[in-house]
Structure 1
Amino acid sequence: MRRRTATLWIIGFLLLAAWAGWDLVPGELSGTPGRADLEGRVVRVVDGDTVRVRLEGREETVRYIGVDTPETKRPGRAVECFGPAASAANERLVEGREVRLEVGEEERDRYDRLLAYVHRADDGRFVNEILVREGYARPLAIEPNVRHADAFATLADEALEAGRGLWSVCER
């Protein structure tokens, strides 16, 4: 009788978990743990790896995960080599467009910016990846947001070998 009661409790719990949508099996098969994609419109490009996005009636500053473009707006510092070109490329890719944001496992950085992988909503192009592939950004792996770190490193190596973007004019 005890075994049957325990079995019924376990089955009941699993049914409740399934009904509630709980993710009991973390990892790739279950998608991004605990994260829903967000959609919004880019209202302003801040620089090569940061944008302002209108999400559900509010604006959020979004910092791209896994990439680092040369600086253009750091107070007290000179504009870095290829910074304006990286900002212009980001504008061409996303300014005024609808985007889908995959929020990182760590959702915010120390400046309270939302951390995300960014995809254009209309054609699905992966903006973070494009910036690295075309030589506008270097890979930047910061735990725990490292899902695409290996791919970004490979793309950066290819851009370096081909002399694309910043790799053609900036010191390494």
Structure 2
Amino acid sequence: MSNRQIETVCQHQTIALSATILALDLGTTTGWALRSADGIITSGTASFKPGRYDGGGMRYLRFTNWLGELQRLSGPIAAIWFEEVRRHAGTDAAHVYGGLMATLTAWAEMRGVPYQGVPVGTIKRHATGKGNANKAAMIAAAEARGFSPADDNEADAIAILHWAIETEGGMA
């Protein structure tokens, strides 16, 4: 399902209100937040740093397996929102992000799970009131909601999840 198709799905289903949804901050250390169908929110980080003897694709295979395990444990994922990054500090970060996003979107397409990127400024503005909030402000915003994020990656995922729930994925 394409980004455009998620809008149609969201308009005809109450994805953000009654189903399992996943929010991701993609990177070598990926932040994640999941709201289960019963309303319980869990969050954390997952490392996809390659091992010393890993081939170039192992990071993405581990990410694929992690997504499958997350779905197996949480039940069917109805929708995925992820931080849509348009500018990266370095070439390596851009390559990792692109690979993870390609893996995520292929995984979702194969399972018919709608997905949508959310611009960084939108997430930061929703969480803190400032579209250019720093990492400390994002962590503080997550803490203000009662979470104890391990780092800014988890805090960003929590912010994406709350944005998706509170705006019905940008539809409200």
| TM class by smaller structure | under 0.3
TM-score (norm 2): 0.26
Structure holding more helix per residue:
2
Higher Cα Rg, which structure: 1
Structure holding more strand per residue:
1
TM-score (norm 1): 0.26
Greater RCO structure (CA 8 Å; 6+ sep)? 2
